[in-house]
Amino acid sequence: MLTTLRKIVLQFSQEPELDVALKHLVTQVKSAMQTDCCSIYLADYQQQHFLLMASDGLASDSLGHTTIGFTEGLVGLVGQREEPLNVANAKAHPHFKHTPEVQEEELNSFLGTPIIHQRKVIGILSIQQRDARSFNENEEAFLVTLAAQLAMALANADKNIGVNYQEHRPFQQLTGIPGSPGVAMAPMMVIQPKADLQRLPLQKVYASVEQEQRFHKAVLKTRVDFEAMSLKLSGVVGQESLDIFEMYKQLLDSANIGHEVEEKIKTGWCAESALKLVIDHYAMQFEALEERYLRERASDIRDLGNRILFNLQQLSFEEEPLPEEFILVANDVTASMIAEYQHKGMKGIVSLTGSNNSHAAILARAMGLPAIMGINALPLNQVNQQPAIADGYSGDLFISPDNSLIQEYRHLIEEETALSEKVKAVAHQPAITPDGRPIELVLNAGLSAGFEHSQKVGAVGIGLYRTEIPFMNRSCFPSEHEQTLWYKEVLSAFPTQAVTMRTLDVGGDKALPYFPITEDNPFLGWRGIRITLDHPEIFLLQVRAMMRANSEYKNLEVMLPMISGVTEVDDAVRLINQAYHELCTELGQRIAKPRIGIMLEVPGVIYQLKELAQRVDFFSVGSNDLTQYLLAVDRNNARVANIYDYYHPAVLRALNTIAEESHKYLVPLSLCGELASEPAGALLLLAMGYDKLSMNSYNIARVKWVIRHVKMQRAKVMLSHALTLTTAKQVHNYLNEQLEQLGLGGFIRAGM
Ligand code: PEP
Ligand code: MG
């Protein structure tokens, strides 16, 4: 059963034309389930009906014409109830609707199941039979499983079916998750990930001659690579090991693979997609074999495919000069990519994966770069160098925009600039409410750019320096000397104010190219302090460099990330003390000892605040991770982005408890997650009693403006009401209402 199911779904997703794919699907399901009819209907939400798209059993004239209203007939009932309906005698059912043109008089039993994608019914799959009988449990289970698997393939149909949109529409609009506010207008530049056929989205381009040429060149290059590899290794490894290259070369020469790829290209697939379809097909045939040795050859085939893919991608993207300005586009935009392209004309970011709290989005906000995340329907292979508008407020991406749209966006940019000008007026005023409650606004930093700007906007120190960022754009760990130079630069940016440096926080979604970590659950794995305690040599070197840099400035605070218990704090403090004493001896003088604090981002620490308070000098809440761990929702996963919400009552109550407890134990408290940079978030935190808010430089003046316009009294009323609400939605509605009443609606519209 499983094999049949897999086969049906695979064939469906490999078929280029949607109507052909649906036609094959119904025929295969009808035959697999040995029934008399199988049909598929797709939902049209504008017309509020299901359209009969394909059927093996109903009259062919009705296909593409017959519609059934969302509230009509058995099909409508399946959609309304969002569950399977299994009836032995359909005509006797009170919801049965007679539709003469489908000619179903002889069909008595009916089993229909909804096809649901992201909670929305997108279609109905049904089978019918002459015998008036209920379908059995296995049949029902098969249809339900098939529908669940089809949902994803169907939802992606738009992308996979490969309508070449440029031929049909003046411009293409796609929507992702708003990752960082602002608008970028520039050509797109696609950065290709490491070649991986399995993760490659299917695309059509309808340019077969050119695609065939690309494919042949890539094959040629791959053959040359194999020859060079086996030459290099001959004499170093035995002949058996070299046989693998021989086998690869034979596979490359195999007329079948090349021929089949060409055939696929002729039907409109781009070379990469055609290669993927053929390699998948062969690999699956090998995977299904009984004999282990042969079964394992599937991975050789995939490897070969990836090597050809790599060469194909190199042909397209290698040596392409960077345009003066561009929007960086990649399947997975990473923090290290941003670090690499930050000074090279990057105006915005578009990532097919990730969400608004991925580190890439956070960095984009810190740099004032508009970003769109999780826009998975973007056909990477078709958009390189195309002009685009990336709207980081709404998450809309417009490809090849027309003049009127460009004008509209120019107007929006002007409005946004006017708001920035308005808030700049308070940059050098203190952050204090009209009734006299002060709060410190400090900077989140990590990129070399931005210090100058942040002084201008009125930050009074650095609340979070993410040291991992400079570790990223390089090929090995930096030396103590190199680190000392970086840290001096940071400490000197605010020589009379505290600068909080966080020790290396890699793992999760932040990888170092020269220290790869592969884990099933990276956010729950080897991350932050867990790594550095396991590698004291890295930790000691870093804190030595920090303290060495600080011997001149004396404004350093050291902050430990991802703390989950007191032992980690004790171990880290012991190492810091060791480094301190070593350094004093080396320098022959007592140098300034930094204050040590911890990040509160693992929920478990909320229940250990008393013990932690005895060990450190300050707490800083990492609300980005605290939200992720408290709500058990991956901050990087676009699929669950709607659940990730700092305004969730559980998060607000946890933040409030932390503030109450920290006051009780007299520990200074700050918050350095993204919540601090939102006007409503800042007001709530102010009311809770946070002493310091740390945010990116672009939001400091704005938050200051808000603080200076709202009385503490009013903020407290907002907080006490917000804490009584039961859902995140209620909290959002309430806070937006309040901001409108306070005359701060412009800030919500500006996407802050
Ligand atoms: C946080 O988790 O809120 C935080 C500030 O750290 P990061 O976003 O770097 O994980
Ligand atoms: Mg964190």
Q: Tell me which residue of 709, 155, 694, 707 sits closest to 459, measured CA to CA.
A: 694
Average pLDDT, integer, range 164-176: 57
Cβ(563) – ligand 1 distance below 6 Å: no
Ligand 1 atom at minimal distance to the Cα of residue 505: 9
Q: Is residue 164 predicted with pLDDT exceeding 60?
A: no
Site to substitute for ligand 1 among 624, 633, 646, most atoms within 8 A of C-beta: 624
Residue pair 137/117 in contact by the 8 Å Cβ criterion: no
Beta bridge partners of 599: 620
Mean pLDDT of the 592-596 span: 97
Look at residue 168 and tell me whether its pLDDT is greater than 70.
no
The reply to whether ligand 1 has any atom less than 6 angstroms from the CB of 504 is: no
Alpha carbon of 266 to ligand 2 centroid (Å): 49
* Coil/strand/helix, residue 742: coil
Quick one: pLDDT at residue 320?
64
**Cβ of 601 less than 6 Å from ligand 1:** yes
pLDDT classification of 167: cutoffs 50, 70, 90: very low
In the prediction, which pLDDT does 162 show? 34
Residue 255 has pLDDT above 70, yes or no: no
Distance 95 CA to ligand 1 centre (A): 54
Cα dist from 692 to 519, 540, 618, 634, 677, whole Å:
35, 28, 11, 27, 12
Task: Return the best residue to mutate from 362, 500, 619 for the ligand 1 pocket (most ligand atoms within 8 A of CB).
Answer: 362
> Rounded to a whole number, what is the largest CA-CA distance in the chain?
98
Ligand 1: nearest atom to the Cα of 672: 5
Decide if pLDDT at 85 tops 50. yes
Instruction: Name the more confident of 64 and 457.
Output: 64
Residue 87 has pLDDT above 50, yes or no: yes
Around Cβ 711, how many Cβ atoms within 10 Å? Answer: 14
To test the pocket of ligand 1, the residue of 527, 626, 672 to mutate (highest count of ligand atoms within 8 Å of its CB) is 672
The answer to whether the CB of 571 falls within 8 A of the CB of 531 is no
Instruction: Please provide the DSSP assignment of 659-699 as one string.
Output: HHHHHHTT--EEE-SGGGGSHHHHHHHHHHT-SEEEE-HHH
Ligand 1 site, residue 347, Cβ cutoff 6 A: no
Q: Relative to the alpha carbon of 675, which ligand is closest?
A: 1
Tell me the pTM. Answer: 0.74
Predicted confidence at residue 296, as pLDDT, reads 67
SS3 555: coil
Closest CA to 359 of 166, 523, 190, 582: 523
Tell me the mean pLDDT in the region 711-739.
Answer: 97
Closest Cα partner for 628 from 601, 653, 608? 601
Q: How far is the CA of 410 from the centre of ligand 1 (A)?
A: 33
List the one residue out of 534, 533, 530, 597 whose CA is nearest residue 564. 530
Name the residue with higher pLDDT: 220 or 749: 220
Mutate to test the pocket of ligand 1, among 500, 625, 669, 694 (most ligand atoms within 8 A of CB): 625
CA-based nearest residue to 646, from 661, 632, 626: 626
pLDDT of residue 381: 73
CA distances (Å), origin 493, targets 18, 465, 591: 58, 12, 20
Q: Of 256 and 750, which is predicted with more confidence?
A: 256
Cα 503 to Cα 483: distance, rounded to the nearest angstrom = 12
Between residues 449 and 610, which one has the greater pLDDT?
610
pLDDT-derived band at 525, boundaries 50, 70, 90: very high
For residue range 196-218, list pLDDT tens digits in order.
Answer: 787 676 777 777 888 888 888 88
Is the per-residue pLDDT at 553 higher than 70? yes
Nearest residue (by CA) to ligand 1, atom 3, is 622
Rounded to whole angstroms, the Cα distance separating 90 from 689 reads 65
Residue 241: predicted pLDDT: 59
In the reported structure, the alpha carbon of residue 166 is separated from the centroid of ligand 2 by a whole-number distance in angstroms of 41
3-state SS track over 690-701: CCEEEECHHHHH
Q: Whose CA is nearest to atom 8 of ligand 1?
A: 624
- Nearest atom, ligand 1, residue 625 CA: 2
| Residue 509 Cβ contacting ligand 1 at under 6 Å | no
Q: What is the pLDDT of residues 21-42, one digit of tens each?
A: 899 999 999 999 999 999 999 9
- Is residue 623 within 6 Å of ligand 1 at its C-beta? yes
Q: What is the pLDDT of residues 304-356, one digit of tens each?
A: 888 888 888 776 555 567 889 999 999 888 877 787 788 889 999 999 988 88
Q: Cα(747) to centroid of ligand 1, in Å? A: 23
362 CB near ligand 1 (under 6 Å): yes
Mutual orientation of helices 679-688 and 697-707 as an angle, nearest 10°?
60
Which residue is associated with the tokens 């001659």?
A: 209
Question: Does any ligand 1 atom lie closer than 6 A to the CB of residue 625?
Answer: yes
Q: Is the CB of 645 under 6 A from ligand 1?
A: no
State the Cα–Cα distance between residues 587 and 677, nearest whole angstrom. Answer: 40
Residues pairing with 669 in the sheet: 619
Active-site residues: which are they?
359, 672
Q: What ligand is nearest to the CA atom of residue 365?
A: 1
Pocket flag, ligand 1, residue 673 (CB < 6 Å): yes
Token output for 560: 């430990």
> pLDDT band at residue 420, thresholds of 50, 70 and 90?
confident
Percent of the chain with pLDDT over 90: 56
* Chain centroid to CA 541: 33
The answer to whether residues 419 and 750 touch, using CB atoms and an 8 Å cutoff, is yes
Looking at residues 728-749, what average pLDDT do you find?
Answer: 86
